[in-house]
Amino acid sequence: MRSGIRRPLLALLCLGLSQLQAQGQKTEAPRYPEQSQIVVHQEAAPNDDDAGNAAQEMQTPVLGFVSSAEQGELRLLLGIPGASALGQPLAVPAGLRNLYFAPNQSYALLAPKTGDFLGLMTFQGADEGAVASICGAIPQPDIVAFSPGTSTAALYSRAEGRLQVITGLPDSPQLARVVPGSDLPDEVRYLAVADDGVTLLEGTVHNAVYVLPQLGLPRLLYTAGDLQGMAFAPRTDDLVAFDRAAGTAFLLQDVDGASAYLPLADGLSGLDGNVFLQTSRAGAVIASTKSSTLWEINLQSFKVQNIPLPGMPQMLQPLRISGDFLLFFRTGLPAWILDSNSAEGSISFVPAGAAPSKHPKPLPFSTIHVLKGDQSEQPDLVSQGASGAACTGVAEPTPGPKPLPRPSF
C-alpha cells in the first residue's frame, strides 16, 4: 500500500498495528485518567489487618457510554482501552427510535418513535442526567451532525423538508437557522457544521459538496465520484471527506474563504457497505461495515496507516476521550474499541456484559424551549411534564434569499 499513498507535503508513512502483532509494544506513558474524564469513585473494603484505617478510595475511569436504541439500552463503559468492562444499564426514555451521542458524550439527542419532541439527555458523572425535550426541534431527524466541539448540531428531515441548526448545546439550546428543503441545492446525504456554529456544508446525493451560507446562495465547493462521508477537523474550517470511487481521502481547506483541495491518501480500497468517517484531535478515521481494515490519517503529520480489524465494524462512535471509538456493540457479544491516540493505534475488546440489558424504570420526558436568537436565560420548564405541552413562543428565523434552481444530473 505504500505506493498507493500520496505525499502532498510530507511523506505519508504506513505504520504497523503494534497491538495486533508480537513486536512494537507501547512505551508511552498512560493517558488515563485525563482531567476532562469522568471518574467513578468507589469505596474499597477495609483491610482486615488494619481495621482502624479509613477506607481507601478507588477510581474507575469511565471510557464512555454504549447504546442500542432498538433495545432501549444504555450502559456505562468502564476502564481504559485494553482493560474495560460494561457497567449496569442506565435508564432511558421508552420508545426511542435513535440515540445520537455528541462527540465527547457529554450529552445525547434522543429521537422518539412517535411524538413532537426531540429529547436531550445529559450525563452527570457516571449517571444519566436530566432528560428534556427540545420544543421546536425536528423530533425524528434523518440526519444529525455535530460540530467537533459539540456545542452545535445540524438536523435534517426528509419528511418535514427542512434543515435546522441548533447552537448552545447542551445547556442553552437556541434555534439558530432553519433552511427549507426547497432552498437546498439538492437532496441531502451528509451535513457538516464547524465549531463556529455558522459554517455549514451539505453533501448531496449526487456527490457534490456545497457551502450553505447564512446569507446568499449555496456555493459549490467540490464534486466527488462517490462521496462517502465528510466531517470538519476540530477548531478549523477544513473539511475531511472520502471519495470511494477514487479511493481517496482529501481535505477541503478554508471552505469559507478561497478553499483549496489537498489529497491526503489514495488507494483506500475495499471500503464497501456503509462508510464511517470521524475526526478527532488525533486525526481522521475511515471504516466501513464490509471491510476488516480501518484507516487512520494524522492531520498534522499526514501519516497514514491501515489497521486490521477482527471483523466487520458495526459503527465508529466517538467515546469520552477524543480519539477513542466504539467499533462494535451488540448485547451478549464482546465490544470492540479503537484507540487512535497512540502512534500505532490499537484495537481492544470489552467482555460481553451479563447484566440485564434494560433498566427496569424508563425515564420520563420533561420540556425545555428552544428560543430563536434569545441569548438570555431559558425559561425553567424542566419540571413540567411533556404530556400536553405545546410549543409556544418559538419563532423560526426568516429564510434567506432564494437559491438558484437545483442542478440537473
Strands 346-350, 83-89: pairing kind: unpaired
**How far, in Å, CA of 298 to CA of 306, rounded?**
12
Q: What value does the mean pLDDT take over residues 19-24? A: 38
pLDDT tens digits, one per residue of 24-62: 333 333 332 333 333 333 333 334 444 333 333 356 788
Helix (H, G, I), strand (E, B) or coil at 41: strand
Which residue is associated with the grid cell 465490544? Answer: 335
pLDDT tens digits, one per residue of 158-174: 999 999 999 999 999 99
C-alpha cell at 231: 466531517
Q: Are 271 and 288 a contacting pair, CB within 8 Å?
A: yes
* Confidence check: pLDDT of 287 > 60: yes
Q: Are 113 and 127 a contacting pair, CB within 8 Å?
A: no
Q: Which helix (H) or strand (E) holds 277?
A: strand 275-280
pLDDT tens digits, one per residue of 382-408: 323 333 344 433 345 555 444 434 333
DSSP letter at 363 equals: P
pLDDT tens digits, one per residue of 299-323: 999 999 999 999 999 999 999 988 9
**How far, in Å, CA of 179 to CA of 35, rounded?**
39
Q: Are 156 and 188 a contacting pair, CB within 8 Å?
A: yes
**How far, in Å, CA of 205 to CA of 226, rounded?**
9
- Rounded to the nearest integer, the mean pLDDT of the chain is 78
pLDDT tens digits, one per residue of 76-94: 999 988 899 998 888 888 8
Closest alpha carbon to 92 in 61, 66, 125: 66
Closest alpha carbon to 58 in 47, 74, 73: 47
Q: What value does the mean pLDDT take over residues 144-164? A: 97
Cis preceding-peptide flag for 360 (omega within 30 of 0): no
Report the pLDDT value the prediction gives residue 14, as an integer from 0 to 100. Answer: 35
Q: What is the pTM of this model?
A: 0.77
Cα–Cα distance list, 379 to 40, 172, 369 (Å): 32, 10, 7
H and E: helices and strands count for the chain: 0, 29
Q: Which fold has domain 2-13+60-350?
A: Methylamine Dehydrogenase; Chain H (2.130.10)
Domain residues of the chain, as ranges? 2-13+60-350
Confidence grade of residue 341 (pLDDT, cut at 50, 70, 90): confident
